[in-house]
Structure 1
Amino acid sequence: MCGIVGYIGKRDIAPLLLEGLQRLEYRGYDSAGIALQPRPGTAGGLRTAKAKGRVRDLRDRLPKRFTGTAGIAHTRWATHGAPSDANAHPHLDASGKVAVVHNGIIDNAADLRAKLAADGVELVSDTDTEVLAHLVGRAQAETLEEKVRHALGGIEGTYGVAVLHADFPDRIVVARNGSPVVLGLGEKEMFVASDVAALVTHTRQVITLGDGEMATLKADEYRTYTTEGSRTSAAPTVVEWEAESYDRGGHETYMHKEIHEQPDAVDRVLRGRLDERFSTVHLGGLNLDAREARGVRRVKILGCGSAYHTGLIGAHLIEELARVPADAEPASEFRYRNPVVDPDTLYLAVSQSGETYDTLAAVQELKRKGARVLGVVNVVGSAIARETDGGMYVHAGPEVSVVSTKCFTNTAVAFALLALHLGRIRDLSVADGRRILAGLRRLPGQIAEVLRDEERIAALAGRYAHARSMMFVGRVRGFPVAREASLKLKEVSYVHAEAYPASELKHGPLALIDPDVPTVAVVPDDDLLEKNRATLEEIKARGGRILAVAHQEQPRADDTIVVPRNEPELDPVLMGIPLQLLAYHTALALGRDIDKPRNLAKSVTVE
């Protein structure tokens, strides 16, 4: 969601911070700002510039000779207070000596604001973050570290923060609790960010802070410690992704680039994992031996948004191939219903970023109750990867567009690998294992084949783009595909859409069908083909238009997108690809800002 960038060193800071903010634009934001520690001998305190709107608006507002020795910057996604210059970060204390940028939500902000106001403090914004700047400024402590620690002691909620203080010009102090903070290590310079995307052009040596951890950055050194003051010894890691991975690579949008990266991305998630000898796969990171795997009596998958939809696909795969009862549930709801945590249930937490707060909180609740939890994530070293007992990386590479495409597909393929692994440990035959392996190997080429039909899909999108609403339907394996396609269309084009199991259409949603509400139907050639065709008949009888995604032309559909056949269990992976293109080209036809859809953020790190 919000983005943090900070730097201390000898470079020209403002351009560097602006570049970092631009690399975080994909996360979603409504305003931006910078605070600089002025060079020695410069009159006045901290220097700030803030602007509602885009990073380019902030750049236009920067004063001349806007330089310093250290700086922090921020892109804000509104939670407390509407987008405005006043609500943009960084926030200052009453003296103007303290500047704070903050990701997360301070739950007790209202009480803290009331106490500060009662003490005569004039609050100039509507944000929760401003209280933190005042608390740091009012803290009676000798060092900046102690001031920040004292202020955080009065905070309830989540935070990733970076703090400057005019009286301590040689340092930036940062802290994390529930919102990512990454340190970047350079030669006589140090960086901090909420996402490695802001760092990779300058350094690949990074340290990811854990919850309850703080750090002090100076130009030539750093140290990490807990919020209680105990030293920690976080080891640097090397970022695998190149800076070029965060560029558009000749495509007009990141979403278009990432859709077209899927053949290579799927090849990566398969690479080195297919075991031809035993018709299974190698998943060493699960930390789950064969005896433990056979002891699993149920699988519960938790995720949010697209991650939840891949969980639905994963649950079907696990039930079909491993014959273990499995279901998926929104992680955002799970921990609020006092769930029964069964020691024989294997829990899977799914998140592209590995930092999704609702999913991370569900993991922490499960761990508190003694459950075994595995992570299915894309980002190495992320919070969920660290908190879980093991898991799988999906190796999709950096996904910059707010709308998930390649990570959704790679996660679905990762679930196929897991289902095959569990199935072969249990009762799945060698022949079926060999059949699924063959299907997995065909996927990259078949995805490329679907992408070659983009021009026709774009023409279809133009034909349906001005519908007042759209219905998406599918049965069993096809229903999660319909749900994800409906979400994609809403996210990126703002066209209202609903998804239903095709069998449920006659139980109420048929009332919505008319010529202005077309239906997208997922119709694979499986044992439910005739039942799906009966649904198409019901829609046509009520004057509805139909766009089918199928393995062959559908006589009752107005239009059909034909996709290649794979094994029935893997067909959902392929049938989702043209629907990503449909959403993309619908948004393009409607003139939407595809990589920055309104009101949304990439990594949702608040509750």
Structure 2
Amino acid sequence: MCGIVGYIGKRDAAPLLLEGLQRLEYRGYDSAGIAVGGRPGALRSVKSKGRVRELQAKLPKRFAGTTGIAHTRWATHGAPNDENAHPHLDGEGKVAVVHNGIIDNAPELRARLTAEGVLLASETDSEVLAHLIGRSTAETLEERVRGALRLVEGTYGIAVLHSDFPDRIVVARNGSPVVLGIADKEMFVSSDVAALVSHTRQVVTLGDGEMATVQAGDYRTYTTEGDRTSAAPTTVEWEPESYDMGGHDTYMHKEISEQAEAVDRVLRGRIDDRFATVRLGGLSLDAREARGVRRVKILGCGSAYYSGQIGAQLIEELARVPADAEPASEFRYRNAVVDPDTLYIAVSQSGETYDTLAAVQELKRKGARVLGVVNVVGSAIARETDGGIYVHAGPEVCVVSTKCFTNTAVAFALFALHLGRIRDLSVADGRRILAGLRRLPEQIAEVLRGEREIAAIAADYADARSMMFVGRVRGYPVAREAAQKLKEVSYIHAEAYPASELKHGPLALIEPEVPTVAIVPDDDLLEKNRATLEEIKARKGRILAVAHQEQERADHTILVPRNEVELDPILMGIPLQLLAYHTALALGRDIDKPRNLAKSVTVE
């Protein structure tokens, strides 16, 4: 969560920092702040509750400085207000700190500082870092930061300015991303490459327990104990234009509309027609090891978890290996039995989701084999896992996930086919699934061409006080993801249930004011699903069906083209993204920045 930007060079820092904050606002947008320096003397800082534009309006006309750090916040400790916004300063105004993460022992550190006469200006956990660094008498800024971090328990990605050391920014990472951008005689710092790509595509990603000193012409990396490390630059694959809105009114609409091309990318170069399978070179899992897998456990949070449910279904159907998905946020706390014959798969769009990363680290500690399914090359989960699949969805700026969810589901289809063909899936079935995968991009485009009709349906349901989503087997994770999307962007309460569970309690909620969205594919459960529609209509419930053919008992039906039954869930989720989008649009919601949420959840 939250966004960090830093700059050091010869240019005026403030405009560059504000530009970076605007690109990172999807990571947090309840307050923002900036601090600049570049020559000996007190730092200058401005902070504001609200969006980056409100911070920009508060900046004085003369706010020069060639070194600076800035932050856009998603609140964890303390209300969104000017005082709790970052950067935080020490008592003398010499130290400025921006921080992502959570300091677990902040109450004890605050009490200690207060007892020593320090006046704390905010309610945040982050402010203690500025005072700890400011009160240090160590000779170098690096030693002062290291000394403060030795007192801290928790997670952090930080950037530090000190007016006595105007030629540098010191950064550190433990559980929250920090990236350096290398340009010509200037350097950038960020929590996300989105803030860097318009200036450089050469980046260095810090690992946990790593720090860096950033100066205009160079950088050096080292551990929090002071030992030098050799973090090498890599090239970012995404172009700056990928982060622009591209003529759309919102990023969410842009990213929904990009899904045909995104799915084509995740398939490109991976299909192996000769053996009716796919090539997944990043797995680091040979055929003998794959045949030794007795179970697959998929871990993710939110939409990543729901895509994992689709993946588990695909793995069981195509590879005939028992598979299930579980929220990583629960798995990491429950002292799970780690089986050496189980293959674990961690799913995260950002590759930095803290709960999922912590689950990966616990699994690795216990000797498990863990693969990653992520979108961001070089992210923490990509580095921590034994291998994996990049989903190649491209940058996703809207807080809610659409194209990355779809590409992740396709990536699981590729993995399931790969595993199935190593085991017992026939050549004929392999070719059938490959043909279905190849049809997906054009079928997604066909669904998107029906947007106008879906928008009209959304307007009809925007007055609902609550909505029910139901689906059986393959349709259930589709229903769960669709309910999540509607909640996130429209703020309409929505719940998802297996269709067979409706009669075991939730049916009590059915009434005209609580419509039901039913996933009704043409599979072997079609008649069972139609019976569910009858139960709902008998209680005067309104029904919106997502189906392959018109459903007589539904008030509205959104038609989706048929694919192979195993791949149908991927297509059936697309119109429900548009339903959520147009419902939120009809209600006047801030679609790209839904309340209380932010992208890339790097806190517990």
TM-score range relative to shorter protein: over 0.9
The answer for the alignment partner of 2:246 in structure 1 is 249
The answer for the alignment partner of 1:17 in structure 2 is 17
Check if 1:216 corresponds to 2:209: no
CA RMSD of aligned residues (A): 0.6
State the secondary structure of the residue aligned to 1:606. Answer: coil
1:510-589 correspondence to structure 2 within 5 Å: 510-589=507-586
Contact 1:39–1:67 (CA under 8 A) maintained in structure 2: no
User: What are structure 2's unaligned runs of at least 5 residues?
Assistant: none
* From 147, 152, 155, the counterpart of 1:150: 147
Check if 1:471 corresponds to 2:468: yes
* From 360, 383, 386, the counterpart of 1:386: 383
The answer for the alignment partner of 2:283 in structure 1 is 286
CA deviation map 1:241-261 (0-9, x unaligned): 000000000000000000000
- Within 1, Cα distance between the matches of 2:444 and 2:286? 33
Contact 2:37–2:43 (CA under 8 A) maintained in structure 1: yes
Letter in 2 for 1:112: L
The answer for the alignment partner of 1:162 in structure 2 is 159
Check if 1:37 corresponds to 2:37: yes
CA deviation map 1:270-325 (0-9, x unaligned): 00001111000000100000000000000000000000000000000000000000
Contact 1:21–1:74 (CA under 8 A) maintained in structure 2: yes
Check if 1:206 corresponds to 2:226: no
State the secondary structure of the residue aligned to 1:24. Answer: helix
Letter in 2 for 1:525: D
* From 256, 260, 264, the counterpart of 2:261: 264
The answer for the alignment partner of 1:372 in structure 2 is 369
- Tell me how far 1:63 sits from its aligned partner: 1.2
* From 114, 123, 127, the counterpart of 1:126: 123
- Within 2, Cα distance between the matches of 1:314 and 1:15? 44
Letter in 2 for 1:122: L
- Within 1, Cα distance between the matches of 2:445 and 2:61? 50
Percentage of matched positions with identical amino acids: 85
- Within 1, Cα distance between the matches of 2:133 and 2:408? 42
Letter in 2 for 1:477: R
- Tell me how far 1:39 sits from its aligned partner: 3.9
CA deviation map 1:515-551 (0-9, x unaligned): 0000000000000000000000000000000000000
Check if 1:58 corresponds to 2:55: yes
- Within 2, Cα distance between the matches of 1:385 and 1:38? 36
State the secondary structure of the residue aligned to 1:277. Answer: coil
- Tell me how far 1:28 sits from its aligned partner: 2.6
- Within 2, Cα distance between the matches of 1:221 and 1:372? 38
The answer for the alignment partner of 1:8 in structure 2 is 8
- Within 1, Cα distance between the matches of 2:28 and 2:519? 31
- Tell me how far 1:498 sits from its aligned partner: 0.6
Letter in 1 for 2:598: A
State the secondary structure of the residue aligned to 1:521. Answer: strand
- Within 2, Cα distance between the matches of 1:324 and 1:510? 34
The answer for the alignment partner of 2:72 in structure 1 is 75
Give the TM-score of the pair, scaled to structure 2: 1.00
- Within 2, Cα distance between the matches of 1:369 and 1:140? 41
Contact 2:181–2:202 (CA under 8 A) maintained in structure 1: yes
1:350-369 correspondence to structure 2 within 5 Å: 350-369=347-366
Give the TM-score of the pair, scaled to structure 1: 0.99
* From 399, 407, 410, the counterpart of 2:407: 410
- Within 2, Cα distance between the matches of 1:218 and 1:414? 40
- Tell me how far 1:385 sits from its aligned partner: 0.1
- Tell me how far 1:38 sits from its aligned partner: 4.5
1:64-143 correspondence to structure 2 within 5 Å: 64-143=61-140
Contact 2:27–2:73 (CA under 8 A) maintained in structure 1: no
- Tell me how far 1:221 sits from its aligned partner: 1.0
Give the length in aligned residue pairs: 604
Contact 2:38–2:167 (CA under 8 A) maintained in structure 1: no
Contact 2:402–2:577 (CA under 8 A) maintained in structure 1: yes
- Within 2, Cα distance between the matches of 1:7 and 1:354? 25
* From 314, 318, 334, the counterpart of 2:315: 318
- Within 2, Cα distance between the matches of 1:476 and 1:27? 34
CA deviation map 1:419-458 (0-9, x unaligned): 0000000000000000000000000000000000000000
Letter in 2 for 1:258: E
- Within 1, Cα distance between the matches of 2:375 and 2:74? 23
CA deviation map 1:301-355 (0-9, x unaligned): 0000000000000000000000000000000000111000000000000000000
Check if 1:299 corresponds to 2:288: no
- Tell me how far 1:27 sits from its aligned partner: 1.6
- Tell me how far 1:384 sits from its aligned partner: 0.1
State the secondary structure of the residue aligned to 1:302. Answer: strand
Letter in 1 for 2:7: Y
State the secondary structure of the residue aligned to 2:275. Answer: coil
Check if 1:480 corresponds to 2:498: no
Letter in 1 for 2:303: S
- Within 2, Cα distance between the matches of 1:355 and 1:90? 23
Check if 1:440 corresponds to 2:450: no
Letter in 2 for 1:268: R
- Within 2, Cα distance between the matches of 1:557 and 1:220? 65
User: What are structure 1's unaligned runs of at least 5 residues?
Assistant: none
The answer for the alignment partner of 1:234 in structure 2 is 231
State the secondary structure of the residue aligned to 1:503. Answer: helix
Letter in 1 for 2:27: R
- Tell me how far 1:382 sits from its aligned partner: 0.1
State the secondary structure of the residue aligned to 1:337. Answer: coil
- Within 2, Cα distance between the matches of 1:276 and 1:84? 58
Check if 1:459 corresponds to 2:493: no
- Within 1, Cα distance between the matches of 2:194 and 2:220? 22
Contact 2:29–2:52 (CA under 8 A) maintained in structure 1: no
